[in-house]
Amino acid sequence: MKKYTCHDCGRTLQHDEEYMPYKVDSETYVKCKSCHQKNPVLKSFRKTEIYSRVVGYIRPVEQWNEGKQEEYKDRKEYVADSGCH
């Protein structure tokens, strides 16, 4: 289930909420119904503050997960090689 955030007001849209999608290159931007009624034109499709904040937040979490996975793998290999229980 994909979550959409309104381009204008930054609100996360509910699953059953009506919205208006805007395709810009490979990106899809959406507006909630009330923002679309106020202004049906996507006036600026540069990445909004909300979008860059989301990107900035996701990246460190991914790096942390990779590091954790590597650490876990190393630990398992060490136990197998040592052969002592």
Q: List the one residue out of 41, 56, 15, 25 whose CA is nearest residue 7.
A: 41
Which residue in 23, 27, 32, 54 binds Zn ion (CB under 5 A)?
32
Stretch that binds Zn ion, among 8-16, 21-29, 49-57, 58-66 (CB under 5 A): 8-16
Nearer to Zn ion, 52 or 65 (CB): 52
- Name the residue type at position 63: Q
**Least Å from the CB of residue 22 to Zn ion:** 12
CA distances from 43 to 21, 38, 46, 55, 79 (A): 14, 12, 9, 22, 58
Instruction: Tell the residue number behind the tokens 């600026």, with chain if given.
Output: 44
**Least Å from the CB of residue 55 to Zn ion:** 20
* Residues near Zn ion (CB under 5 A): 6, 8-9, 32, 35
